[in-house]
Amino acid sequence: MIRLVFIGFGTVARGTLQILRDRAEFLRTTYGFEAMVVGVATRRGSVQAAAGLDLTALLACDSLEQYPDMSGIVRGASIPNIVESGDYDALIEVSATDLSTGEPAITSCRAALERGKGVITANKGPVALAFRELSDLARNNGAFFGYEGTVMGGTPALRLAREALAGCQITAVRGILNGTTNYMLTQMEAGQSYADALIEAQRLGYAEADPRGDVDGHDAAGKVAILANVVLGAELKLSDVETSGIRGISAADMEMARAAGERWKLIGSAVRNVKDGTIRATVRAERLPLSDPLAGVGGVSNAITYQTDLMGAITLIGAGAGGAQTGFAILSDLLEMHRDAGR
Ligand code: HSE
């Protein structure tokens, strides 16, 4: 039985909790995987139970204070108190991403890994800003570090590169890594204005709390930094990613691309220079010919193309966000941790 502590109680936490509740029997009988949630904490409060929280009661709460009083319930411990207690097997870090500092998530991940506890996160901050330090800590402490949900939600972009393409040299990564801007560009191509397309993307829940992170390319840049470091073995900082967004694209630009048989896409890429091994990482709007597989990816979907030596180009298309989808990424990391423990 794996004991989990969640940091964060938003869309991704709920998506994960729902999967753990609804698939408990399937996960037990198929994979021998059993988990209980012994704590959930946010900046505003926490609830803990050594014997496990009731997931149905938890999912019925809008905030943690609403969790019913039952015997064995402890309230009010801070995030550092809970993380440093070590009374859990894996920390599920799903608080909101802060790409400026990566905090408080980096501190939580570090504290858990130092104690030999597993860490699974969908928060881009720790992986974009502190991947090397945290993966070294995990290795040195024999702890699992999972971060599949940081790029393309539950679409297995990182796992494809790390596992299925192991043995190939991946020389370049290029993708549509932000659903909000891809949705907006698709709508603008159909005649909607930039402003209306952005409002629509916010209404549909695609955009970050501050949508400048989407339209100015910073969300995609965080994912490019993760891909460069995880897949290409670089040591890039976020500031190394040359970043621009889609703000300047006008209806006239859309029309010119259409007339030329092309399509605007916000492309994140990390490319290794074969001569000196350096990596160039960019996020910028590009006009793609319709023959490019990324040109055909419309709406909120994400996609990634890996350029490999043995297999040529491989493109993966799928959802890039969402509670159930990113919850699946957390589950896939939990199952990997479970498999590792059995080896
Ligand atoms: N706002 C992001 C997007 C969510 O639109 O892709 C996932 O990082």
More confident residue, 209 or 20: 20
Q: What are the tens digits of pLDDT across the range 202-239?
A: 988 888 778 999 999 999 999 999 999 999 999 999 99
Q: What are the tens digits of pLDDT across the range 177-202?
A: 999 999 999 999 999 999 999 999 99
Query: Coil, helix or strand for 310?
Result: coil
Is residue 301 within 8 A of residue 182, CB to CB? The reply is yes
Ligand 1 probe mutation, 95, 200, 208, most atoms within 8 A of CB: 208
Q: Which of 234, 247, 315 is nearest to 284 (CA)?
A: 247
According to the model, what pLDDT value does residue 71 have?
87
- Check the CA dihedral 181-219-149-91 and report its sign: negative
Q: What are the tens digits of pLDDT across the range 297-319?
A: 999 999 999 999 999 999 999 99
According to the model, what pLDDT value does residue 207 have?
86
Atom 4 in ligand 1: residue holding the nearest Cα: 321
Kindly state the percentage of the chain with pLDDT values over 90: 94
Q: What is the pTM of this model?
A: 0.95
| Ligand 1 within 6 A of CB of 208 | yes
Ligand 1: distance of its center to the CA of 115 in Å? 31
Ligand 1 probe mutation, 99, 148, 180, most atoms within 8 A of CB: 180
Neighbours of 204 (CB within 10 A): 12
β-bridge mates for residue 47, sequence order: 40, 75
Q: What is the mean pLDDT of residues 106-123?
A: 98
Q: Where are the beta strands (DSSP E) in the chain?
A: 2-7, 35-42, 45-49, 73-75, 90-93, 118-121, 145-146, 170-176, 242-243, 262-272, 279-289, 302-308, 312-318
According to the model, what pLDDT value does residue 245 have?
97
Q: What is the mean pLDDT of residues 30-36?
A: 98
Binned at pLDDT 50, 70 and 90, residue 13 comes out as very high
Mean pLDDT of the chain: 96
Give the residue numbers marked as catalytic: 223
User: Among the atoms of ligand 1, which is closest to the Cα of residue 214?
Assistant: 1
Q: What angle do CA 183, 187, 192 make, to 5 degrees?
A: 140
Atom 7 in ligand 1: residue holding the nearest Cα: 321
According to the model, what pLDDT value does residue 343 have?
73
Token code pair at residue 275: 């001569």
Q: Which of 252, 251, 262, 253 is nearest to 197 (CA)?
A: 251
Token code pair at residue 301: 């979907």
User: Among the atoms of ligand 1, which is closest to the Cα of residue 207?
Assistant: 1
| Ligand 1 within 6 A of CB of 320 | yes
β-bridge mates for residue 4, sequence order: 37, 90
Ligand 1: distance of its center to the CA of 177 in Å? 8
Q: What are the tens digits of pLDDT across the range 266-291?
A: 999 999 998 998 999 999 999 999 99
